[in-house]
Amino acid sequence: MAKDPVRVLVTGAAGQIGYALVPMIARGVMLGADQPVILHMLDIPPAAESLNGVKMELVDAAFPLLKGVVATTDVVEACTGVNIAVMVGGFPRKEGMERKDVMTKNVSIYKSQASALEKHAAANCKVLVVANPANTNALILKEYAPSIPEKNISALTRLDHNRALGQISERLNVEVSDVKNVIIWGNHSSTQYPDVNHATVKISSVDKPVRELVADDAWLNAEFITTVQQRGAAIIKARKLSSALSAASAACDHIRDWVLGTPEGTWVSMGVYSDGSYNVPAGLIYSFPVTTRNGEWQIVQ
């Protein structure tokens, strides 16, 4: 029996991350190889032509799972009936700008998008905020969409989580799929704390602690942490553009695990609404280790 299509909104869809993300969604990377999707793509009026070009490419790629594309600059049209919203659009921080300048611009963007989602999205819509500052933007969205349950709004720290897995895998020369249970605590910014104290690597079907295998606390407590914290800046320096491919991939991982569940014994990092766990003040959006089942996340205690 064929499944009904899921409507997935991507804001800022004509941008770099959007361009990397929409084909992944259309190919089934986000929701599974048997789940049809209808893509809703939103961008600002100056990007309308570019957005239409992305739509043309999606048609040309002939993705079997893609059952429709809505490409629009109208926020109400974009948000109508969506089951999942990936908020990639935001005002980018430019040279010489302080974080607070970016926040002021983003408040107005997130206010209008939050209101549209609240009024027009499908019931139980899941929202993932990717645009920086992600934790703050997620909180703004929560404030202006009070009827969306707080458990349905999250911020992306999976990119940092995946970066941490990648660093451990390279250091130990093991498959990245054999590394699990790193944790990103805090904010998706250079103040986050990547934690390997509970992380393990599967070595001939036995999970062994990362600390024991690396056997170099000096590296784990210093260089490893700063590499993960500063990775985004290192990529901008190398590419002259921000990390789009890895961010898009992490957004797919985040939603896939949220919707389809995490494997037994494995946890992932998500920026979620704090319930006071680990003495993090309730009501903040903060990255915790979580497990997911039946579309619900739970903080690992």
Which residues are documented as binding site for substrate? 93, 99, 132, 163
Which amino acid is it at 242? S
Burial-class residue 277 by CB neighbours within 10 Å (0-12, 13-18, 19+).
middle
Q: Are 267 and 291 in contact (CB under 8 A)?
A: yes
> What's the CA gap between 63 and 37, in Å, rounded?
10
Residue stretches of the annotated binding site for NAD(+): 12-18, 43, 106, 130-132
Q: Which of 88, 99, 105 is nearest to 43 (CA)?
A: 88
> What's the CA gap between 17 and 25, in Å, rounded?
12
Q: Give alpha helix (H) positions in the chain.
A: 16-26, 48-61, 75-79, 99-120, 134-144, 158-172, 210-214, 217-218, 224-239, 245-260
Q: Are 246 and 159 in contact (CB under 8 A)?
A: yes
Q: Which of 93, 91, 85 is nearest to 109 (CA)?
A: 91
Residue stretches of the annotated binding site: 12-18, 43, 93, 99, 106, 130-132, 163
Q: Are 125 and 83 in contact (CB under 8 A)?
A: yes
Which pair of structure tokens corresponds to residue 62?
Answer: 């002939």
Q: Which of 40, 161, 188, 254 is flagged as catalytic?
A: 188
Which amino acid is it at 293? R
**88 has which bridge partners?**
none
Q: Which of 55, 153, 163 is nearest to 113 (CA)?
A: 153
The answer to whether 188 is a known catalytic residue is yes
Which pair of structure tokens corresponds to residue 170?
Answer: 């390279």
Catalogue the active-site residues. Answer: 188
